[in-house]
Amino acid sequence: MIATQQGLLPVKPSSRPPPRPPRSIARVPVPPLVPKSPGTPSKTISDHVTPRALLDNICLADEGFMQWSALRYIAPSMPDTYDCIGKHDTLIHEIYYADLRTKCVSILTRDVLDCLAGEPIAIPNPDIPEDLSLPFKIAPSPGKGLGLFATRFLEAGQLVVAEPPLIIVPLVLPMTSPGLSKAHTFRTLFARLEDPHRRLLLSLSNCKPASLCSREEGIIRTNGLSIELHATEGYTVAHNGVFLITSRANHSCSPNAAYIWDADAFTLTLSALRPIPVDEEITIAYTSLTAPLASRLFTLRAAYHFACACESCVRPRTDRALLQSDQNRIELDRWWARRTTFERWLKDRSMPYLALIIAHVRALEMLEQEGLHDGRARHCDMVARCFGALGETNKFVEWAARAAKEWTVVARRYSGAVQEEIALEKVGMCKKWVREPDSFEFWATRL
């Protein structure tokens, strides 16, 4: 109650939320081998702990990303990530696979660990004929150290390797125990690996200077591939995974292969995006392929400390050709967000009847010019639909057959995943259109 000249007035309830209780720091419970000088451990995040101090100890990313991730991920998630209950506490955990000889050493939070399948985890064996050797070999790559090379002709969509991770760390690493360095945490990860796997992973490239991080952390930051793991409450959490074979693949801005991570199968599959001849290097992308040249070069230099020398970056081109390449990739990056849908084109008779066809054919031309492959099946499918709605039998059959071929590549890449079923349905539908053009539900509806 508040006293006034008129008497006592009730106090309005405050709209401000009550102050949050102090939050506990999640810590990695591993015994120190080489402890730092002892200090007074703090169990709460106090005002004197600056964001810079947190970033120095909890982020795996490079300097620019560290600042961005602090604002985007760390600060908003602190009430949930650093809680008093401890369900998000970080644990070093060993995940055993079905052969009982292979294991993955990981840093996982409790909410991720609770969603893992029961151990040992069964890893599906790739279907490789007994009379054939592995489709790849590890050999020196000029100017790149070691790389993967095809040992036989690989068709588009063909499997190169399917493998589980040997090391998993979160994209944002919570603070370690008092008196422990981050370097010790990463040394502990490698120390718990099986001896043959430890030697092989320690032979991976490390592009990070010793002044920035330890050798073990540098190997993970250089060779880790982005994967997502299921967590409680139905969301996924970004992690870095280090793999025995795929982590050896070098970068190209027009790669001939790509990897797909299946969190349910706990397996990463590397497959060909296009036909790969014998002895050609198998490459993947380390950065966004729809970014312009200057952006790709800057990102690769900042994150991996090398100047890209792939054909897309070093082939002689005029300034006009370079500008056109950048425009192609930027347009492809924004393509599906800006283009008219098939349904709208079908209903809006004021739109030119060839407008959508020309647009998607143009997209396919840009993909071909840039040596990119993702999205080709969707573009071919859309062109076929447009010709079907126009009642153009010959063109409809031609593009439906092409779409069926592209969807077959997608299905092979996603073998065993949910996306495979979707792609196979598309293949069956397109083949039916080739046999029976008038079975298309929108056949000749825009004349």
How far is Cα 267 from Cα 166, in angstroms, rounded to an integer?
Answer: 11
For the chain, the domains span 63-77+88-313, 319-439
List the one residue out of 166, 185, 167 whose CA is nearest residue 175. 185
Residue 88: other Cβ atoms inside 10 A = 19
Going by pLDDT thresholds of 50, 70 and 90, the confidence category of residue 179 is low
Residue 245: other Cβ atoms inside 10 A = 18
**What single string gives the DSSP state of each residue in 140-158?**
EETTTEEEEEESS-B-TT-
The answer to which of 175-179, 300-304, 396-400 has the lowest mean pLDDT is 175-179
What is the amino acid identity at position 338? Answer: R
pLDDT at site 233:
79
Strand order in the sheet with 257-262: 159-163, 267-272, 257-262
How far is Cα 406 from Cα 377, in angstroms, rounded to an integer?
Answer: 5
pLDDT in tens, 101-127: 788 999 888 888 888 866 677 766 555
pLDDT in tens, 25-72: 333 333 333 333 334 433 333 333 333 333 333 334 344 443 433 333
Work out the average pLDDT over 419-442: 95
pLDDT at site 65:
40
Q: Is 248 left (phi over 0), alpha (psi -120 to 50) or beta?
A: alpha
Mean residue pLDDT across the chain: 80
Give how far the C-alpha of residue 32 lies from the chain's centroid of Cα atoms, to the nearest Å.
33
List the one residue out of 348, 355, 357 whose CA is nearest residue 383. 357
Work out the average pLDDT over 420-434: 96
CA neighbours within 13 Å on the CB side: how many for 15? 0
Q: Rounded to two decimals, what is the model's pTM?
A: 0.77
E-strand ranges in 151-205 read: 159-163, 167-170
**Interacting residues of 15 by C-beta distance below 8 A, sequence separation 6+:** none
**What single string gives the DSSP state of each residue in 45-113?**
--TTS-HHHHHHHHB-S-HHHHHHHIIIIIHHHHHHHS-SS-TT-EEEEEEEBTTSS-EEEEEEEHHHH
Work out the average pLDDT over 427-447: 95
Confidence check: pLDDT of 190 > 80 = yes
Q: Which residue has the higher pLDDT, 69 or 309?
A: 309
Q: Tell me the two tokens of residue 331.
A: 């347009």
Annotation: CATH topology of 63-77+88-313:
Beta-clip-like (2.170.270)
pLDDT in tens, 149-168: 999 999 999 999 999 999 99
pLDDT in tens, 357-386: 999 999 999 999 999 999 999 999 999 999
Work out the average pLDDT over 197-225: 92
**With pLDDT > 90 as the criterion, what percentage of the chain qualifies?**
56
pLDDT in tens, 314-364: 887 788 899 999 999 999 999 998 888 999 999 998 999 999 999 999 999
